């Protein structure tokens, strides 16, 4: 009997020995490739995080203005972290079992997401590449229609006293000429680039080999490029309205006998001369009759800005969904809930004894990252906040991309990985 048991154990060892050797070989192979891959990824990541000087703020990075660069930075981060997580999984420690399980789920979840992203992106990219001529012509027509012709027709409509609004003729003509000039310049540039649109669509289709997230990122950047003239017009209109509101506040303090003390950051009482009050009355009259004209053109470009931002918000949500969806954890939860324990509970059996049961982790804990992302997105695009920005002539900006990302590995895990290497 003992000899039969020993024979089975030896046969099991013979079966498991090649698997263990293959696992060790795979670990050595990944460890051999991890160092040059980490160096290359660090170089790409440093390029994506280059601060932009000039018109941008000092804390604005290259990846903050381009969805494609942001997506490259995400893939670079994953290429750095995946070998580290593989080492943490390979060298298991019973004392750190929860952390090991967490890295195990995170590692295979990332692998699944990348594979699904590449598969879907290859299919979509093949469709775009095969129909690049038709799609390029279609995109060119739609860009010409919605970003150039529609804006020009709306500007001409506003300049002709729309729906009975009697705007200031000279100021309306100035705004119409200015915004028409900006639109015509950008429309001429787009007209020059229209023959290359099929090649752009073909390039986007080829980039589908890197995943459908790369296609969405390129589309987001293309949308920003094709509507750049609308953003310039929006900035100009917002600055003009902001100055008008600031002047209104100054005139309001003037008529109340107040003035703003900049040094002490407060409003003090002040006695104005009759000439100052007369000048304030003249300025108030001019502002009252000119402000409706300014407000009409400001409303036009606020609406276009909101439309573009909502499209960007949808694309950023899709990118976050594709990059961080807990697919592997959800499959484990549905297939084998015991592998995702969230606690224990006791059940009284028919014999009167207490049985220990495993309580699986709830789905709300699996999707907690998406709950955080949704809370950030909903807070940023809250209608009350948007209305406050519109009425105060503040710039409406899309949500910053780093706010809807989360770190794939913690600092304690990095320290553990360094201990393993040492």
pLDDT in tens, 305-316: 999 999 988 888
* Euclidean distance between CA atoms 166 and 168, whole angstroms: 7
Q: How far apart are the first and last CA of the chain?
A: 46
Confidence band, pLDDT 50/70/90 cuts, at residue 153? very high
Average pLDDT over residues 38-56: 69
Q: What does DSSP say about strands 354-360 and 258-261: parallel, antiparallel, or unpaired?
A: unpaired
Q: What pLDDT sits at residue 27?
A: 54
Q: What pLDDT sits at residue 25?
A: 54
Mean confidence (pLDDT) of the chain: 79
Residues 6+ apart with CB under 8 A from 358: 337, 338, 341, 344
The tokens for 262 are 């900049």
Q: Identify the weakest region by mean pLDDT among 14-28, 275-289, 290-304, 394-408.
A: 14-28
Q: Identify the weakest region by mean pLDDT among 145-149, 256-260, 319-323.
A: 256-260
Is the pLDDT reported for residue 207 higher than 60?
yes
The torsion angles phi and psi of 348, rounded to 5 degrees, stand at -85, 120
Collapsed DSSP state (helix, strand, coil) of residue 165: coil
Q: Where are the alpha helices (DSSP H) in 194-344?
A: 197-207, 212-226, 228-255, 274-324, 327-335
Q: What letter does residue 352 receive in the DSSP assignment?
A: S
pLDDT tens, position by position, 322-340: 888 887 777 877 887 777 7
Higher-pLDDT residue of 399 and 419 is 399
Confidence band, pLDDT 50/70/90 cuts, at residue 202? very high
pLDDT tens, position by position, 368-396: 777 777 788 888 888 899 999 999 988 88
Average pLDDT over residues 7-29: 51
Q: Tokens 């009050």 correspond to what residue?
A: 277
* Euclidean distance between CA atoms 125 and 203, whole angstroms: 9
Confidence band, pLDDT 50/70/90 cuts, at residue 98? low
Q: Is the pTM of this model over 0.85?
A: no
Higher-pLDDT residue of 145 and 57 is 145
Q: What pLDDT sits at residue 383?
A: 87
Q: What pLDDT sits at residue 32?
A: 52
pLDDT tens, position by position, 340-357: 777 777 777 777 777 777
């Amino acid at each position: 009997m003992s000899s039969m048991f020993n024979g089975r154990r030896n046969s099991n060892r013979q079966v498991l020995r090649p698997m263990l050797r293959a696992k060790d070989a795979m670990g050595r192979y990944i460890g051999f490739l991890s160092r040059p891959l980490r160096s290359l990824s660090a170089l790409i990541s440093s390029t994506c995080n280059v601060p932009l000087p000039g018109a941008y703020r000092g804390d604005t990075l290259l990846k903050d203005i381009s969805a494609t660069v942001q997506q490259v930075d995400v893939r670079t981060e994953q290429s750095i972290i995946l070998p580290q997580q593989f080492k943490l999984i390979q060298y298991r420690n019973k004392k750190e079992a929860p952390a090991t399980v967490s890295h195990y789920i995170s590692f295979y979840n990332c692998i699944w997401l990348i594979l699904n992203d590449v598969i879907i992106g290859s299919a979509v990219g093949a469709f775009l590449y095969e129909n690049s001529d038709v799609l390029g012509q279609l995109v060119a027509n739609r860009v010409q229609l919605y970003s150039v012709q529609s804006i020009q027709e709306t500007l001409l409509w506003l300049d002709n006293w729309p729906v009975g609004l009697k705007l200031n003729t000279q100021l309306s003509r100035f705004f119409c000429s200015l915004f028409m000039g900006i639109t015509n310049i950008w429309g001429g540039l787009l007209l020059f680039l229209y023959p290359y649109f099929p090649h752009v669509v073909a390039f986007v289709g080829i980039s589908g080999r890197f995943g459908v997230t790369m296609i969405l990122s390129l589309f987001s950047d293309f949308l920003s490029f094709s509507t750049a003239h609308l953003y310039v017009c929006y900035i100009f209109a917002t600055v003009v309205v902001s100055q008008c509101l600031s002047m209104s506040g100054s005139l309001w303090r003037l008529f109340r006998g107040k003035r703003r003390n900049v040094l002490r950051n407060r409003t003090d009482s002040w006695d104005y001369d009759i000439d100052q009050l007369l000048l304030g009355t003249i300025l108030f009259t001019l502002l009252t009759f000119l402000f409706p004209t300014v407000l009409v053109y400001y409303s036009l470009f606020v609406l276009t800005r909101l439309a573009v931002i909502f499209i960007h918000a949808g694309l950023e949500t899709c990118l976050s969904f594709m990059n961080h969806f807990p697919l592997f954890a959800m499959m484990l939860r549905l297939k084998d809930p015991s592998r995702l324990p969230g606690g224990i509970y006791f059940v009284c059996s028919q014999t009167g004894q207490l049985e220990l049961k495993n309580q699986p982790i709830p789905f709300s804990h699996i999707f907690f990252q998406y709950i955080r992302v949704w809370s950030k997105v909903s807070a940023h695009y809250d209608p009350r906040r948007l209305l406050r920005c519109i009425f105060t002539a503040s710039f409406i900006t899309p949500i910053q991309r780093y706010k809807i990302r989360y770190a794939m590995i913690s600092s304690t895990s990095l320290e553990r990985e360094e201990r393993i290497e040492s």
